[in-house]
Amino acid sequence: MSGAHDILLNLLEVERLEVDLFRGLGNGGETPTRIFGGQVIAQALAAAYQTVDDRLCHSLHAYFIRPGDPKIPVIYQVDRARDGGSFTTRRVIAVQHGKQILNMSCSFHVDEDGWEHQHPKPDADGPDGLKDRTELQDEIVNRIPEKFRKEFLRQRPIDIREVAPRDFFEPTKMDDVNHLWFRMSAAAGSSPQMQHCLLAYASDMNLLGSSLRPHGVTWVKGEVMMASLDHAMWFHAPAQFQDWHLYTMDSPWSGGARGFNRGAIYDRHGTLIASTAQEGLIRPLKPRD
């Protein structure tokens, strides 16, 4: 999997073209037909970090505007909205074909002391003994149309182990609460900024699917059109993404062809590392015959 790791780390090393203008590669992420949303968020954050010297991101808020084209690079324009004594604010616009595909605001904060509390980590099965993505893929690969198998089996950089994986071909109605463990061993030794970018990339995984679980629906059967509409993330503690993290997600509401989803990311010791929220399009479609 080292090749997939190297591809992702390379994707997040955005190239500076001008003082506040950057370029990121479009291909190499999770999906072949459009750029994975987490990739655009992570690259936008990486671009913003190149304009901030002495503080780490504590929150970001992004809107997905158009699908990204994986065949061409993405241009990131960073607006230095504010450099304050305690907080720094940046606005990032991602552009392809002369049009915005994402805009994002992110805020950076100096390290300060203050009162502390957090909700405890949920009681969920640990990653040891759970099937990884490769094992789950091997179980269903013969049910995947042959023309899609090569892409389906392509190595991905993030190691994922779901606590209660769904059967995508014969889904049943399930509780909206969804736990998975994830990590990337190649994150070891990365800077705090790169750790944030990697976690932001991974935070878009499986989150929108939480809103489909109560309805027994998956994208495989062509029953739903899915697209992330926005994504918010708050960083609470330093990440060490080479180690296992528990991503616990739920969907308290869906309606109007949209689903709302929340997530909390804990390290294995129970520290709350980050929180997420996302609304996405889950438009019903007539099932394919």
> Would you kindly state where each structural domain of the chain is located, as residue ranges?
2-110+131-284
* Secondary structure letter of residue 194 according to DSSP: H
Point out the residues that are catalytic: 204, 228, 278
Q: Using 50, 70 and 90 to split pLDDT, how confident is the model at 79?
A: very high
Which of 161, 135, 134, 133 shows the shortest CA–CA distance to 245?
161
Tokens of 279: 């609304």
> Tokens 């324009």 map to which residue?
77
Which of 201, 196, 200, 127 shows the shortest CA–CA distance to 157?
201
Q: Tell me, what's the pLDDT at 287? A: 61
Question: Does the domain made of 2-110+131-284 have the CATH classification 2.40.50.140?
Answer: no
pLDDT surpasses 70 at 52 = yes
Question: Using an 8 Å Cβ cutoff, are 238 and 245 in contact?
Answer: no
Q: Using 50, 70 and 90 to split pLDDT, how confident is the model at 65?
A: very high
Q: How far apart are CA 106 and CA 89, in angstroms?
A: 6
Higher pLDDT, 260 or 30: 260
- CB atoms under 10 Å from CB of 216, counted, come to 13
For residue 186, CA distances in Å to 3, 7, 22, 24, 189 come to: 10, 11, 24, 20, 8
pLDDT surpasses 80 at 277 = yes
pLDDT surpasses 80 at 31 = no
pLDDT in tens, 88-144: 999 999 999 999 999 999 999 999 999 999 999 999 999 999 999 888 888 888 887
Q: Tell me, what's the pLDDT at 154? A: 76
Percent of the chain beyond pLDDT 70?
96
Residues 143, 1, 276, 232, CA torsion sign: negative
Q: Tell me, what's the pLDDT at 47? A: 98
Q: Using 50, 70 and 90 to split pLDDT, how confident is the model at 3?
A: confident
> Tokens 């100096």 map to which residue?
110
Question: Using an 8 Å Cβ cutoff, are 57 and 232 in contact?
Answer: no
Which of 174, 237, 205 shows the shortest CA–CA distance to 42?
205
Q: How far apart are CA 208 and CA 239, in angstroms?
A: 23
Q: Which of 24-38, 123-137, 151-165, 194-208 has the highest mean pLDDT?
A: 194-208
Question: What is the average per-residue pLDDT within 188-204?
Answer: 98
pLDDT surpasses 90 at 206 = yes
Q: Tell me, what's the pLDDT at 28? A: 67
pLDDT in tens, 241-274: 999 999 999 999 999 999 999 999 999 999 999 9
Higher pLDDT, 219 or 85: 85
pLDDT surpasses 90 at 150 = no
Q: Is 246 helix (H, G, I), strand (E, B) or coil?
A: strand
Q: How far apart are CA 277 and CA 204, in angstroms?
A: 10
- Between the two ends of the chain, the Cα-to-Cα distance in Å is 36
Q: Which of 79-83, 87-91, 131-135, 234-238 has the lowest mean pLDDT?
A: 131-135
Tokens of 49: 């970090």
Q: Tell me, what's the pLDDT at 286? A: 76
For residue 170, CA distances in Å to 21, 143, 167, 231 come to: 46, 11, 5, 29
Q: Tell me, what's the pLDDT at 24? A: 97
pLDDT surpasses 80 at 151 = no
Q: Tell me, what's the pLDDT at 133? A: 87
